[in-house]
Amino acid sequence: MAPSTLPLLTARLRSAGCVFAEEEAALILATARTAAERTAMTEQRSAGLPLEHVLGWAEFCGLRLHLAPGVFVPRPRTALLARRAAALLTPASVAVDLCCGSGALGAVLARTHPGLTLHAADIDPASVACARRNLPAHHVHRGDLYDALPATLRGRVHVLVANVPYVPTDQIPLLPAEARLHEHPRALDGGTDGLDLVRRLAAHATDWLTPGGHLLTEVNPRQLPAAEDALTRGGLTCTTHTSPDQDTAVLTGTRPASTLR
């Protein structure tokens, strides 16, 4: 690499509006295998593609995860969801990552509990392909929420984590262009109030959770009252954790140990 490459690449990215141009230039230089690949990656990023799609990987909770174009990019704020879910597991637990995207949450759970029985699922074929690369020793399924899961998991899941889309439909046009233009709409759009999939999750969670098992999902703090109501209507006891710095909230719905089946 010529000594002038980093400054030139930084200038190119900065002129394209990249706020963290120098850091992004360094990542492109470290990832590109050839000069031609470096040029292509620079042009893609300058054209507005998310950096993670350009690089082909995303960092989440200290893990480097394979990422393909169009697949939802794991956000730093979702680390709270990962931590809360991991804290509820033991190495002998059964866990499920629904709407798994790249499998980021499942990968964190598998790292923290190596003996875990882990299943992940997504409706999007590109996401399923990514998740299978990121979770090679685990079970990854394609399908719509619970429909994707094997029936043998019913009543056996200790922790079910789901980072479902929760952006209200009318707010999609307000999202940053990187997300709005380059991630699949179904990974972002949560319906009229953003909670369509939260309600679907909550409605059938007790069919899949073991007594005392937990459903965890992420929402915007302003959605908490309606989201808590959805989990309560689904027969779950609800607790919340918030991260004001990240403007996010994690809901944990617990199936009572005395629930009759």
- Domains of the chain, residue spans: 5-47, 76-254
The DSSP H or E segment spanning 151 is: none
Stated pTM of the model: 0.92
* Residue type at position 219: V
CA proximity to 206, closest of 233, 226, 172, 179: 233
Vertex 124: Cα angle to 71 and 28 (nearest 5): 15
Q: Do the Cβ atoms of 124 and 71 come closer than 8 Å?
A: yes
Using CA atoms, how far residue 184 sits from 13, 56, 131, 160, in Å, is: 25, 16, 16, 23
- Report the Cα 10 to chain-centroid distance in Å: 29
Burial 161-173 (b: 16+ CB within 10 A, else e): bbbbbbbbeeeee
Q: Do the Cβ atoms of 245 and 75 come closer than 8 Å?
A: no
For 74-116, the pLDDT digits (tens) are 999 999 999 999 999 998 999 999 999 999 999 999 999 999 9
* Residue type at position 80: L
Q: Tell me which of 3.40.50.150, 3.40.140.10, 3.20.20.60, 3.40.50.1390 is the CATH number of domain 76-254.
A: 3.40.50.150
For 111-156, the pLDDT digits (tens) are 999 999 999 999 999 999 999 999 999 999 999 999 999 999 999 9
Q: What would the two tokens of residue 92 be? A: 């002998």
